[in-house]
Amino acid sequence: MADHHIVLVGGGHTHVQVLREFGDRPEPGARLTLVTDRVMTPYSGMLPGHVAGVYSRAEMHIDLEGLAKRCGVALCRGTAVGIDRTRRELLLADGGRLAYDTLSLNLGITPDLSGIAGADRHAIAVKPISGLLDQLDRLFAGEVVPRRILMVGGGPAGVEIALALRTRFQALAAQPWIAIAAGDAVTPSLNPRMQQRVRAALARRDVTLLAPCRIAEIHAEGAVDTTGQHIAADAVIVSTAARAPAWLATTGLRQAADGSVLTADTLASVTDGAIFAVGDCAAIEDDRREKAGVFAVRQGPPLIANLRRRIRGEPLGPYRAQRDYLAILATGDGSAIAGRGRWLAVEGRWVWRWKDWLDRSFMARFAAGSPG
């Protein structure tokens, strides 16, 4: 069988599953290369727990170099900057080219701060996570504890981080004012019962909810909302809009409005069947979903199956994203809120223990010494 080279660009939640699966069950005639600019990749599900002080940095990161070695996958340390689709080559920042038969993109997203004046100079962006962690470390280690912290964005990620910050600063014997500028409403993607529990958790943890509140400008002393009101803050964290990497626009692949690669339900690009895209950098045509790590995790098995089918020359199968998925939101105080669909919502310490078990179980599959 002819050699079929699969190049995986990015070590996100989907691609780590590809590495593990092809390591456990190699596909005859195939070889894999992982291209990444970093050898440690964060698991977003553990981010709030890390911010709260529950998990160390090591516990929330997957060692891509070690995983690739154990799975028999070549590792290319580099940054992708383009695709020559005619020659089927990935273009690298150092001028190198890497030939592929099949290319898969799991690149994540970058902050889109263009809608808020001054955000690029004065705000801390939630994505990419590696940059957020570095800036938060400086915030926690600073000689002067911030007195006022503003989170811009009332989605689940912004809420979890705000609540986790409350826990972390309490451990430092500090009690800063923490607020969320939540646009029109807090966690609008969650069902009403979950939203009610989220609002109660924010009140219980003394996190101020500003809603409706849309931020128009961020400066060194805080922020200004669209009504002109000034909100004083020593640190402003932005968890709102994000975009796929800008270089994807040069590839000729059809894109969604946020720059994500448009794919069919097979996870293959609608433009080029030799290219797959998954996770936050992708959007399934006619089935747009919010950006959430749960989708990237669940895209692992169908991507693996379709990579094998492509190698074998078989028709690709569809991926059906769940319409109602389980959402779990940590409240930072040893409890968590879970819900699904239009009405289910539960809360308690047992929910946090369940989330902790799910996250640790996922990470254990990729840890050094794990089978495969």
Please identify which residue in the block is written with the tokens 């669909």: 341
Residue 83 buriedness (CB in 10 A; 0-12 / 13-18 / 19+): buried
- Alpha helix stretches (DSSP H) within the chain: 15-24, 47-52, 64-70, 119-122, 129-141, 156-171, 192-204, 293-298, 300-312, 349-364
Q: What is the pLDDT of residue 76?
A: 97
Residue 265: inside a domain, yes or no?
A: yes
Residue 368: inside a domain, yes or no?
A: no
Structure pTM? Answer: 0.90
144 and 187 part of one domain: yes
Q: What is the pLDDT of residue 247?
A: 95
Q: Domain with 317 in it: what CATH number?
A: 3.50.50.60
Q: What is the pLDDT of residue 182?
A: 94
Q: What is the pLDDT of residue 326?
A: 87
Choosing from 240, 256, 281, the residue where a domain stops is 240
248 and 102 part of one domain: yes
Residue 175: inside a domain, yes or no?
A: yes
117 and 233 part of one domain: yes
Q: What is the pLDDT of residue 291?
A: 52
Choosing from 275, 291, 321, the residue where a domain stops is 321
126 and 205 part of one domain: yes
132 and 232 part of one domain: yes
Choosing from 207, 240, 273, the residue where a domain stops is 240
The whole domain housing 164 covers: 113-240
38 and 125 part of one domain: no
86 and 122 part of one domain: no
Please give the tally of structural domains in the chain: 2
Report which secondary-structure segment, H or E, holds 110.
strand 110-111
Among residues 102, 99, 90, 84, the alpha carbon closest in space to that of 30 is found at: 102
* Average pLDDT along the chain, 372 residues, taken 10 residues at a time: 88 94 94 95 94 95 95 96 97 96 92 88 90 90 88 95 96 94 93 97 97 95 96 94 88 93 96 95 78 72 97 94 83 96 95 97 82 46
300 and 199 part of one domain: no
Q: Which residues pair with 363 in a beta bridge?
A: none
236 and 117 part of one domain: yes
Q: d(Cα 135, Cα 141) in Å, to the nearest integer?
A: 10
Q: What is the pLDDT of residue 288?
A: 62
Q: What is the pLDDT of residue 372?
A: 46
Among residues 233, 229, 52, the alpha carbon closest in space to that of 149 is found at: 233
Among residues 225, 224, 298, the alpha carbon closest in space to that of 12 is found at: 298
